[in-house]
Amino acid sequence: MNTEPSFDCASSHAALEAVKNADFVVSLLPFKNHIMNEYVDVILPIAPFGETSGTFVNGAGDWQSFAAAVSPKGDVRPAWKVLRVLGNLLQIDGFEQESSADIIAEIKRELVHADANLAAEPWRLPASIKAFNYSSNGLNFIPQLSLYSVDALVRRADDLQQTHDAAKKHVYMSTLTMEREGFVAGDSVKIKHGGISALHAVAVDDKTPEGTVLIPVGTTAAVDLAMPYHPVELIRD
């Protein structure tokens, strides 16, 4: 629900393999993409967050309720209503709610009954941070999730994708790494890592650690990349 495995998972390649090998896949999403045709059996359209009411619990444990900005288009319904109707059709108990407010009230009653709460835990600084064990051979893949690749809505906002902060089809590396590997800025390459990625352009970023490449993820150009922080191979076009 509200997830595109090819964009929303750390290892998009493994996620796609998993859903493709599943016996039956139902997807609840506001949008459709061409990759879904390879693994989805049923698509149930749901309203994006701006077209439904609901409640978030923030990092401080505060309950923040909101109303829909506009009505859902056509026959689209908020996800909770789709699940409620499925529960009714399957004759399952506990699916009688008429509004999102009914659901929140029920959750709060359950929390009181269980003597539980959603208050935030105090922030703690870890005693130590384990470093990633980079391979000394080849190049290591560091993922970069741009601000406008984080969910299905912003990924489809054409104006946002034209801004400076949008993900680019680039492979970033330091000047030293570029010289060592024999690349120059502007070289066209594909990335071999799980699968073969779409075409990228080599670009300089001297904030990228030596021996690594920074690659934007959460995009169609990166759907075949495997687990981050592992060695990758760059293939000249």
Q: How far is CA 8 from CA 42, 71, 108, 113, in A?
A: 19, 26, 30, 35
What is the tens place of the pLDDT at every residue in 179-197? 999 999 999 999 888 778 8
Going by pLDDT thresholds of 50, 70 and 90, the confidence category of residue 201 is very high
- Whole-angstrom distance, CA of residue 146 vs CA of residue 226: 18
Do the Cβ atoms of 204 and 174 come closer than 8 Å? yes
Which residues on neighbouring strands pair with residue 170, listed in sequence order? 201
Please list the residue range(s) of the chain that carry CATH number 3.40.50.740: 5-113
| Pairing mode of beta strands 195-196, 212-217 | unpaired
> Can you tell me whether residue 222 is helix, strand or coil?
helix
Q: Six-digit token pair at 148?
A: 């406008």
CATH of domain 5-113: 3.40.50.740
| Predicted pLDDT at 69 | 94
The conformation of residue 30, written as its DSSP 8-state character, comes to S
195: which residues sit within 8 A by CB, 6+ positions away?
A: 13, 224, 225, 226
Mean pLDDT to the nearest integer, 214-237: 85
| Predicted pLDDT at 218 | 86
Going by pLDDT thresholds of 50, 70 and 90, the confidence category of residue 200 is very high
The conformation of residue 138, written as its DSSP 8-state character, comes to S
Closest to 53 (Cα-Cα) out of 72, 38, 37, 36? 72
What is the tens place of the pLDDT at every residue in 93-106? 999 999 999 999 99
Do the Cβ atoms of 42 and 27 come closer than 8 Å? yes
What is the tens place of the pLDDT at every residue in 1-17? 999 998 888 888 888 89
Going by pLDDT thresholds of 50, 70 and 90, the confidence category of residue 52 is very high
Please list the residue range(s) of the chain that carry CATH number 2.40.40.20: 139-236
Q: If you average pLDDT over each of 77-91, 102-116, 157-171, which comes out highest?
A: 77-91
From its phi and psi, is residue 138 left (phi > 0), alpha (psi between -120 and 50) or beta? left
| Predicted pLDDT at 10 | 81
pLDDT averaged over the chain?
Answer: 87
CATH T-level topology, domain 139-236: Barwin-like endoglucanases (2.40.40)
